[in-house]
DNA sequence: CTTGATTTGAGGCACGTTCCTCATATACCA
DNA sequence: TGGTATATGAGGAACGTGCCTCAAATCAAG
């Protein structure tokens, strides 16, 4: 009736508890034939290890480190808050968590920080950093030391990370493109702004955005990306200039952060009512802009979900459990004024 | 360093383990002064009970029952599948789960089914049923017997349910209205179809939809709701007739289930390309329609999330834990062709 | 058959909690 | 002051698992 326990397995297999334990935990000193007997009993009874009891017995403590970009990045702040909240809500118990901030655009600083980690006491790392060869090496080193590694928000597809937690940027860009096309509803130009097209995410979003606009909204012409290089003043100046000069612009697509400066420029242009503006990530700035009508839509990933997923996936990796994909899939959310929160 | 245990509390408070236990579990036989001493130690050390160890010691088993509508309801099927999946993924361990189906529109049958439940062994119930006085009474009876009750998908606001797991229907309707207005982009009529306007959800969605259209899209005129009363043939016939007769219709809003028949009617009308069609809930039918372009958007609640939330909330209620609101809030999702899944 | 190595069993303690029992201490009341 | 009710302590068993030791059984090879 109830869940079978190791005792039931021992009885069913006709061996002792100690032997069952040796088999379940892959400890040496068991004949192949005996291993088979035990595994047989396990599958016959449908035994599943009680992970909580196991961790209790082992009085295991997990040490996780999250690496997030530092600097004036509202999304990172929002994500950090979500991680803190998920942590204190005991999404993963028996866990100590540390959040480190690194300069996003300095691969060497990132790697230096990763090397300072004490891998002997470390169980898992979640990384939100751009993929560079240095980072790939650092991930390989962590993996070699037996540390679980997940990429957060921005994937590290060519590294040895165990898992990626985030959305497909191409699909997110396509979604933005579809919304832009349908919301604009007329011909004209679309201004695309980003911090830096060097980031993989921006590239992929642009790819998806362009594909949909080109394929389905031939009346729209997407202008070359305007880059701000994380400089608010520059963002404001360049966008203001373009909007003043080009009267055919009907939409603005912001692929990265720096939305505060962008929105300032939009307001100054006096064309908010005419323009369809779409940005990524829900932050205090973008949320206020949605309510005010300055942004028509925000394409977002739920930061709370990202945080909880990262914690759960790291735990599952450490516990050797399988990952519940359906729960961990991060969806591309479309936020309009009416469905905030 | 590590989490404090009951032993630490006992030491800190200068009392015995037994007394700490009595205080923590609100058992009688402790002087007020001693209770205060213990609670003081608890807050000083920041003790939090290890729920798993507690349930382990208590060898507790939870019995939950889910009540879902029976009959040809694709959303209910999808939800049931999600519940089965969440259950087998051990979202809530030490739990036995039963899913019962009841005729959605027969309050007496629903109540009869609820009364058959053995409340002595039952720990929690999740209900997806329309609110009627009979249901309210049945909920009160369950609560009186100490059973945790959550309303699922459709709220029972005037009952004594502990929690509601689902979305705000008015906000969902407003979201649909905003999308309809922006996607249509021109003047005309909007056809609204539903199974039955008697259901609270349909009423509320309509309320939100109308408010947004009236307030912001004055070029659109919303027609009176067409009701199908769960009869696919009727749905197909009525919609077909309206679309043939009224050439000004630019959008169709489907508030409830029965989308298969609706989509058939749309296809037959030959006006799919012209019309902006919006429906609720992601099912095999609506998903296929999105891909095909027959539906412009689907307003959905994630069934996997609903299922997991219901299980987690019921467990939290039984364990006497606080509910992690941020995780349990069900979002109004907007699904377009590009962000399915 | 002996020797030595390998495999297995039996048992115990630990983890953090619950929930007993039994004995003792303290407070209250007459 | 004694008697009684109430409060508290000490300790133990249990939950499912991990991990250890020690001894016994089994096996392979000479």
Owner of token pair 């962008």: A262
* Contact assessment for residue A225 and residue A185, using Cβ atoms and an 8 Å cutoff: no
Is the model's pLDDT at A1 over the cut of 60?
no
**Helices B74-88 and B303-319, interaxial angle, to 10°?**
50
| Residue B10 tokens, joined | 């006992």
Q: Given an 8 Å threshold on Cβ–Cβ distance, is A89 in contact with B308? A: no
Q: Where are the domains of chain B?
A: 6-49, 62-166+303-330, 169-300
Whether A5 CB is under 7 Å from strand D: yes
Return d(Cα B126, Cα B22) in angstroms, integer: 32
Same topology, domains B62-166+303-330 and B169-300? Answer is: yes
Is the model's pLDDT at B341 over the cut of 80?
no
- In the predicted model, what is the mean pLDDT of residues A323-330? 94
Closest C-alpha to A260, from A292, A300, A233: A233
Q: Given an 8 Å threshold on Cβ–Cβ distance, is A179 in contact with B329? A: no
Instruction: Write out pLDDT tens, residues B250-293.
Output: 999 999 888 999 999 999 999 998 999 999 999 999 999 999 99
Chain A residue with Cα closest to B298: A334
Distance of CA B192 to the CA centre of its chain: 23
Q: Kindly report the CATH number that applies to the domain delimited by A169-300.
A: 3.40.50.2300
Q: Given an 8 Å threshold on Cβ–Cβ distance, is A182 in contact with B85? A: no
Whether B2 CB is under 7 Å from strand C: yes
pLDDT at A219: 96
CA distances from B160 to A139, B108, B155 (A): 52, 19, 11
Most confidently modeled range among A222-236, B197-211, B291-305, B312-326: B291-305
Best A315, A326, A333 residue to mutate vs chain B (most B CBs within 10 Å): A326
- In the predicted model, what is the mean pLDDT of residues B176-204? 91
The distance in angstroms from the start CA to the end CA of chain B is: 42
pLDDT at A71: 77
Chain A residue with Cα closest to B331: A341
Which residue has its C-alpha nearest to nucleotide C27's C1'? B31
Q: Given an 8 Å threshold on Cβ–Cβ distance, is A171 in contact with B339? A: yes
Whether B14 CB is under 7 Å from strand D: yes
Q: What percent of chain A has pLDDT over 70?
A: 99
Chain B residue with Cα closest to A337: B175
Return d(Cα A212, Cα A192) in angstroms, integer: 14
CATH 3.40.1390.10 at A61-166+303-330, yes or no: no
User: Protein A222 CA to nucleic acid D8 C1', in Å?
Assistant: 78
Buried b (16+ CB within 10 A) or exposed e, A43-56: eebebeebbbeebe
Supply the DSSP symbol for B339. Answer: G
* Average pLDDT value over all residues in chain A: 93
pLDDT at B33: 87
Lowest-confidence pick of A209-218, B87-96, B280-289: B87-96
Q: Given an 8 Å threshold on Cβ–Cβ distance, is A53 in contact with B52? A: yes
Return d(Cα A28, Cα A31) in angstroms, integer: 9
CATH 1.10.260.40 at B6-49, yes or no: yes
Whether A30 CB is under 7 Å from strand C: yes
Fold of B62-166+303-330: Rossmann fold (3.40.50)
pLDDT at A39: 93
Lowest-confidence pick of A71-75, A269-273, B85-89, B323-327: A71-75
Q: Is the dihedral of CA B94, B100, B104, B106 positive or negative?
A: negative
- In the predicted model, what is the mean pLDDT of residues A122-150? 95
Q: Is the dihedral of CA A164, A165, A171, A176 positive or negative?
A: negative
Instruction: Write out pLDDT tens, residues B129-144.
Output: 999 999 999 999 999 9
Could you say which nucleotides of strand D lie within 7 A of any protein CB atom? 6-21
Owner of token pair 């205090």: A284
Q: Considering CB atoms only, which of A171, A329, A338 is closest to B175?
A: A338
- In the predicted model, what is the mean pLDDT of residues A113-121? 93
Is the model's pLDDT at A316 over the cut of 60?
yes
The model's confidence at residue A196, banded by pLDDT at 50, 70 and 90, is: confident
Lowest-confidence pick of B16-20, B71-75, B98-102: B71-75
pLDDT at B1: 56
- In the predicted model, what is the mean pLDDT of residues A243-251? 95
Return d(Cα A183, Cα B182) in angstroms, integer: 6
User: Protein A99 CA to nucleic acid C25 C1', in Å?
Assistant: 51
Return d(Cα B5, Cα B118) in angstroms, integer: 36
């Amino acid at each position: 009736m109830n869940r079978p326990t190791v005792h039931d397995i021992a009885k069913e297999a006709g061996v002792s508890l100690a032997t069952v334990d040796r088999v379940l935990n892959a400890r040496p000193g068991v004949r192949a034939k005996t291993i088979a007997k035990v595994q047989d009993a396990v599958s016959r009874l449908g035994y599943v290890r009680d992970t909580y009891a196991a961790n209790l017995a082992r009085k295991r403590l997990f040490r996780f480190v999250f690496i997030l970009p530092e600097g004036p990045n509202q999304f990172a702040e929002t994500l950090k808050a979500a991680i803190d909240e998920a942590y204190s809500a005991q999404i993963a118990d028996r866990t100590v968590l540390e959040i480190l901030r690194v300069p996003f655009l300095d691969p060497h600083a990132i790697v230096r920080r990763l090397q300072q980690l004490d891998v002997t006491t470390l169980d898992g790392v979640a990384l939100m950093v751009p993929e560079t060869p240095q980072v790939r090496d650092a991930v390989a080193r962590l993996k070699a030391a037996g540390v679980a590694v997940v990429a957060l928000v921005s994937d590290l597809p060519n590294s040895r990370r165990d898992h990626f937690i985030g959305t497909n940027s191409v699909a997110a860009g396509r979604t933005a493109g579809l919304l832009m096309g349908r919301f604009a509803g007329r011909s004209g130009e679309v201004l695309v702004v980003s911090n830096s097209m060097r980031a993989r995410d921006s590239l992929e979003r642009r790819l998806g955005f362009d594909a949909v606009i080109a394929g389905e909204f031939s009346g729209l012409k997407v202008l070359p990306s305007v880059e701000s290089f994380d400089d608010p003043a520059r963002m404001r100046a360049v966008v203001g200039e373009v909007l003043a000069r080009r009267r055919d612009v009907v939409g603005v697509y912001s692929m990265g952060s720096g939305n505060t400066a962008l929105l300032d420029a939009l307001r100054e242009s006096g064309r908010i009512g005419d323009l369809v503006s779409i940005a990524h990530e829900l932050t205090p700035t973008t949320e206020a802009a949605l309510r005010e009508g300055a942004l028509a839509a925000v394409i977002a990933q739920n930061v709370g979900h990202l945080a909880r997923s990262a914690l759960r996936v790291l735990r599952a990796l450490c516990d050797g459990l399988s990952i519940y994909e359906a729960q961990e899939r991060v969806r591309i959310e479309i936020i309009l004024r009416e469905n905030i929160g």
